[in-house]
Chains A and B, each alone.
Chain A
Amino acid sequence: MHEFSIASGVVETVLAYAEAHGVQKIVEVRMTIGELTCVEPDQLKFCFGAITKDTVLEGAALEIDTADAAVRCPHCGYEGIPKYWEGARASAFLPTLECPECGRAAEPTAGHDCAIKTIRYVRDASAADPPPLPVTA
């Protein structure tokens, strides 16, 4: 259940931003989760919902985009989608590091993301300030 610590990280980061910028309500948090991570989106959403009660994040939607895995083969130069191990699991295709071209070991180049991409929030429209700049955490 590392989803809980990841959800905590999301909430801490967004709440820090909200406090620093006078945000009244967060409407949506959009994340990217890579295909090569073992972060389960449904569990993450459940944890997020449970720990955002009574905060400006309560009721916010957690949208999760999946980032595809990609590999590069140092042996034959192949670059692109990984070879999938079909049939290993009933519910999903399993990305492997076997080069789809030459069968030797490829290296992952994409698919390890676990990041907050954007947040969407409500701010008092009568406030004269321009939209605040993002905090870099």
Chain B
Amino acid sequence: MSTATAPAPRPVRTIPTIEASPEEIYDIELEHSLLEANAKIAEQNRAVLDKHGITAIDFMGAIGSGKTTLIAKLVEKLKNKHGVAVFNADATTSDDQNLVAGSGIQVVQLATVNGCHLDANLVQKALNTIKLDGLRLLFLENIGNLICPAEFPLGAKARVVVISVTEGPWSVRKHPHMFLGAQIVVINKTDLAAAMEVSVEDLAADVRKLKPDIKVIPASCRTGAGVDEIAAALLAI
């Protein structure tokens, strides 16, 4: 269908195969989607959240982009007016939970152990452990990874990608899939842009090239710039 790409040559079969005579061979259509199982649980999560009037937000981004710090800032800003809970996912540590735990809200640490993404099943398990009544927002902090989480919806109403200028000027075009499914992109650590010699405008232009209507919010969790705008955007979802 695509005219822009020349069709790739058929891959050469490198794995030795066992041959059978034609009358012994059966072709069966399975039509089994491998992402469907996760997608179904995500829909169940969404139904539970909708029933309680809770908007879940999936925060994705690389390690060190500032997801946890941003969530901690947002919690401080919002918790007195709105019911907020946080699920922090991490492969191994509970450091993220500790950053938010002092805020007095419900926080659950999810361990994906060796998994490279948070999945809907873990979120469902965590949902069963917290009190949902009175919550307005649920922040789901995904694993620090700019590739894998894109394929695994969790039941969130919106996805936020947090990138930072310290990841360099090419983080968007090198990880395009992450942005195609997002509604908001936060460009964090703008206070370091000059030192990094990275243009916030160029990063924003790359994001819009992939998805023209996406909301891009430059921010600095250190100075607090942009955090109000992010909070307002989340409450508007």
Q: Do A and B bind each other?
A: yes
A115 B15 Cβ-Cβ under 8 A: no
Most chain A CB atoms below 10 A, which of B31, B173, B214: B31
A68 B2 Cβ-Cβ under 8 A: yes
Q: Does chain A have a CB within 8 A of B117?
A: yes
Which A residues are CB-close (under 8 A) to B19? 27
Q: Which size bracket describes the interface of A in this complex? A: 35 or more
Q: Which of B3-11, B42-50, B61-69 contacts A (4 or more CB under 8 A)?
A: B3-11
B176 A116 Cβ-Cβ under 8 A: no
Taken together as a complex, chains A and B put the C-alpha atoms of A92 and B17 apart, in Å, by: 30
0/1 interface trace, chain A 79-120, chain B, CB 8 Å (1 if under) = 011101110110001101111000111001000111111111
Taken together as a complex, chains A and B put the C-alpha atoms of A27 and B21 apart, in Å, by: 11
Contacts A59-B16, A85-B173, A119-B30 hold; do A5 and B4 have CB atoms under 8 A apart? no
Taken together as a complex, chains A and B put the C-alpha atoms of A122 and B151 apart, in Å, by: 33
Number of interface residues, chain B, beta carbon within 8 A: 48
B176 A88 Cβ-Cβ under 8 A: yes
B4 A93 Cβ-Cβ under 8 A: yes
- Considering the complex, give the chain B residue whose CB is closest to the CB of A31: B34
A59 B26 Cβ-Cβ under 8 A: no
Minimum Cβ distance to chain B for residue A22 (Å): 11
Q: Which of B161-169, B194-202, B204-212, B228-236 contacts A (4 or more CB under 8 A)?
A: B204-212
Which A residues are CB-close (under 8 A) to B20? 25, 27, 122
Which B residues are CB-close (under 8 A) to A105? 211-214
B34 A118 Cβ-Cβ under 8 A: no
B31 CB contact (under 8 Å) in A62, A115, A132: A115
Taken together as a complex, chains A and B put the C-alpha atoms of A93 and B173 apart, in Å, by: 11
Taken together as a complex, chains A and B put the C-alpha atoms of A116 and B30 apart, in Å, by: 6
Please report which residues of chain A, range 29-85, place their CB below 8 angstroms from some CB of chain B when the two chains form the complex. 35-39, 41, 45, 49, 59-64, 66, 68-70, 80-82, 84-85
Q: What are 27 pairs between A and B in contact, CB < 8 Å? A: A2-B147, A2-B152, A5-B115, A13-B30, A27-B18, A27-B20, A28-B17, A38-B151, A38-B177, A49-B15, A59-B15, A60-B17, A61-B13, A69-B2, A81-B2, A84-B4, A96-B176, A96-B211, A98-B209, A104-B213, A105-B211, A114-B33, A116-B30, A118-B28, A122-B20, A131-B28, A137-B32
Q: Closest 3 interchain pairs by CB?
A: A105-B213, A68-B1, A2-B148
